[in-house]
Amino acid sequence: MKRAGRVNRRSAAAVLLASVLAAAVGIAAVVFVILPNQEKAGTSTGGVIKPGHLPPVMDRESYIDIKLAAAGDIMFHNAQLASGYDAKTNTYRFNSVFDAVKPIISAADLAIANFETTTAGPDTQKYSGYPRFNSPDEVLDAIKYAGFDILSTANNHSLDTGRAGLIRTVQMIRQRGLDTVGTYEKRPDTRVLMKNVKGIKLAFMSYTESANGLEGSLTPEELDTMINMADELKMKEDIQYAKDQGADVIIAFLHWGNEYERTPSKKQEQLAKLLAKAGVDIILGSHPHVIQRSEQLGGRSNNAFVIYSMGNFISNQRYETLNNAYTEDGVIVLFDIQKNKTTNQTRIINIDYVPTWVYRDMEDGKQAYTYQILPILNYMDSKHISNEFKARMQRSYKDTIMQLEEVPPAYKTAAGIEPERSSSTGSEGVYDEKK
């Protein structure tokens, strides 16, 4: 990416530090800025946390501006499948899950997330959640309704329903006008997805470290053709291809790391540095199911942004099912990208975070749970949410923002915030599909 500047995150960190310090010495300080409640779909612009931005350019006619949105893991466990099922019509509908975040996702010029399930259809394998995911096609209708444009499909569940399931998943996504990157029904001309948005060329790549050992169900040739495994040589080839195509911004979606660990592994850090050095501008992480930190990495000719894990966008993983509250947390990352028409220089002028929390409750008169992805700041004063859930949302918000901002441990301790990003799983057991 030919970038003229770098994102400056110090201003927001300074504000947060001042607030935390004020709280530590007994001065009244507002750490959480609560926006007016906006609960109806279509009215919310999202509870946006701004980690810093470059000064706006006034001569707009000389520039192209676009917004990219990215979210983490989209999963559908059995309890979620039951939540969207209508026994009277024998149909599924999941649109309401995304109602609260639809305005944020739809407002972006391009939006991408990790699709961590398959849509193999009901004929060969019944619909199911963990450990072998097979979701109804209606989950894709809901994802399209939310405003997503691209789904990263290279992950450890890509082969849950075998070769045929992988192929049908790609086909069903594309039938709905969405793009896929990471898995393929046949050998593609390139593993890189190129998108031209208003004159800005974006290159998307997607890779996974594992397919849960199901790699052996494919021949070596099929595996090489159908799934982008995290191979450094292939990544470098793809980055070079993107450069040869004149990509203004190169985005890599990585399914990596260790589940439930809130600190990225050494392998993640090393791979991120390799990709930044090779020319990747944005690295989006998934798989740990909890949020891991974000930071900037200096590349050979650029400054790359990495978020090692964006957490769960939607799943049934939570305190009740996994004894791990961090799996309820997610974040939408918003990138404002600007290109100078005269110089062809492209830069990321702003990076915003929208912390999200997965709402799940058995509402009166219902036989199944209700699920919604809530942008936390917009719902903290909702009269429809219990005080118990508000407390959980506050915990989620605090933990999320502390992962995304570099705050010295001393300030965390003074404010009663967890001082370290633990490398342990934080889980006392394994996922329980029955809860």
Q: What share of the chain is helix, strand, coil (3-state, %, to 5)?
A: 30, 25, 45
Inter-residue contact 242 to 231 (CB < 8 Å): no
| 207 closest CA partner among 262, 263, 286 | 286
Predicted local distance difference test score (pLDDT) of residue 405: 63
Predicted local distance difference test score (pLDDT) of residue 407: 44
Predicted local distance difference test score (pLDDT) of residue 21: 31
Question: Which residues have CB under 8 Å from 152's CB, separation 6+?
Answer: 112, 113, 114, 115, 180, 181, 182, 204, 206, 253, 255, 284, 286
User: Reduced to 3 states, what is the DSSP secondary structure of residue 29?
Assistant: coil
Q: What does DSSP assign to residue 23?
A: H
**Dihedral of CA 288/310/331/363: which sign?**
negative
Please state, in angstroms and rounded to a whole number, the distance separating the CA atoms of residues 376 and 389: 11
Amino acid identity at 388: E
Q: What is the largest CA-CA distance in the chain?
A: 64
Predicted local distance difference test score (pLDDT) of residue 377: 95
Low-confidence residues of the chain: pLDDT under 70: 1-60, 299-302, 405-435
Predicted local distance difference test score (pLDDT) of residue 50: 52
* CA 101 distance to own-chain centroid: 13
| Degrees, nearest 5: CA angle 352-356-361 | 170
Predicted local distance difference test score (pLDDT) of residue 51: 53
What does pTM read for this prediction?
0.84
Amino acid identity at 6: R
Q: Where are the domains of the chain?
A: 10-414
User: Reduced to 3 states, what is the DSSP secondary structure of residue 132?
Assistant: coil
Interhelix angle 266-278/232-244, nearest 10 degrees: 30
Amino acid identity at 323: N
Predicted local distance difference test score (pLDDT) of residue 23: 33
Predicted local distance difference test score (pLDDT) of residue 257: 98
| 341 closest CA partner among 50, 147, 64, 56 | 64
Fold designation for 10-414: Purple Acid Phosphatase; chain A, domain 2 (3.60.21)
